[in-house]
Amino acid sequence: MTHPVRIAPSILSADFARLGEEVRAIDSAGADWIHVDVMDGHFVPNITIGPAVVKALRPHTAKPFDVHLMISPVDPYLEAFAEAGADIITVHPEAGPHLHRTIQRIKALGRKAGVSLNPATPAKMLDYVLEEVDLVLVMSVNPGFGGQSFIDSQLRKIEAIRKQIDRIGKSIHLEVDGGIDRDTAPRAIAAGADVLVAGTATFRGGPDAYAANIEALRGG
């Protein structure tokens, strides 16, 4: 069963002095979603942006905001990111004591809910929540920084999760983030991914290169 592939450029690799322009540029270059990496310097070793920046970027595109919260505790911030314009809110099982409750809260806020698995977090963490989520994000690098190399062992995890999703027959996106480029993208897709997050590979070469970069990730 083949799934259309969506490309979600990560603004972590954009020019932060020109974020609004960068979002408009990747939108017009063919991005399907805008991936927003939120890091708190606690759950991951880096600090990026908060809800105010998401809100400021919202008028620059109608594309879905795919907001990945790498923050702990995560629950106190769900409402702020929903109000700022996040369409999908993805959390880590380790970022709060009650993952199921967190997922329910995201959905109660009218947003799609995602769960992200770090490289050492097993697929079995999804056993009792998979039917509740709209998206699973497999991290193919350790979260915190852009520009890292793809961890090959995650391909087996992607394959395992794709089988779980297909078995329950629900429309759940399987997203991969970390070290995605024109070499690793086809491998992630072959393993079952249908959304690819790419920062460095999208933003390399400046705005004139964005459309070709995105097309290359699709296999074009």
- So which residues are the catalytic ones? 37, 177
Query: Closest by alpha carbon to 74, among 52, 110, 45, 44?
Result: 44
Rounded distance between C-alpha atoms, residue 211 and residue 220, angstroms: 11
**11-16, long-range: CB < 8 A, 24+ apart:** 11/35, 11/36, 11/37, 11/57, 11/199, 12/37, 12/48, 12/146, 12/199, 13/146, 13/147, 13/199, 13/200, 13/202, 13/203, 14/199, 14/203, 15/203
Six-digit token pair at 149? 């190399």
